[in-house]
A and B are shown apart, each in its own frame.
Chain A
Amino acid sequence: MQDHKDEIRHIVAQIGEVEIDKVGDETHFSNDLGIDSLRALELMVALEDKFKIRVPEEQLGRFTSVNNLTELVIELQAPGAVSSAA
Chain B
Amino acid sequence: MSKRVVITGLGILSPVGIGREAFWTSLINGQTGIKPITLFDTSELACKTAAEISDFDPRVVLPGMKTGMLYRTAQLSCAAAKLGLDDAGIELDAATKPRIGVMIGNTLGVMQSYSEFYRGTLERGYLAASPLDFANTIAITVAGYVSVMFGVSSFNCVISSGELSSLNAINYGASFVRRGKADMVLAGGVEVLSLESYLLNYLPKFLSGSTPGQREFCMPFGKERNGTVLGEAGAFVLLEDYEHAVARGANIYAELRGFGVSFDSHAFVESAPRSKGLTRAISLAAKRSGLLPEDIDYVSASANSSVVKDKAEADAIRNVFGSTTDRLHINAIKSMTGESFSASAGVQVCASALALREGVIPPTLNGYEQDPECNIPLFSESREVKIKSALISASAVTGLAGALVLSTPQ
**A interface vs B, CB < 8 Å?**
15-17, 34, 38-39, 41-42, 45, 48-49, 54
Contact = CB atoms under 8 A, between A and B. Distances in A.
Nearest to B67: A17
Interface of B: 66-69, 127-132, 135
Contact of A42 (B67, B127, B130): B130
A41 B131 contact: yes
Secondary structure of the B side of the interface?
loop
A45 B66 contact: no
Nearest to A39: B132
14 contacts: A15-B69, A15-B132, A17-B68, A38-B132, A38-B135, A39-B66, A41-B132, A42-B69, A42-B130, A42-B131, A45-B127, A45-B129, A45-B131, A49-B128
B140 to A, nearest CB: 14
Most chain B beta-carbon contacts within 10 A, residue among A16, A42, A48, A49: A42
A17 B68 CA distance: 7
A16 B64 CA distance: 12
A81 B202 CA distance: 53
A49 B127 CA distance: 9
Contacts of B132: 15, 38-39, 41-42
B69 A17 contact: yes
A16 B131 contact: no
Contact of A45 (B67, B128, B135): B128
The 8 A-B pairs at the shortest CB distance, nearest first, are namely A41-B131, A17-B66, A42-B132, A17-B68, A42-B131, A38-B131, A45-B130, A42-B130
Nearest to B135: A38
Contacts of B135: 38
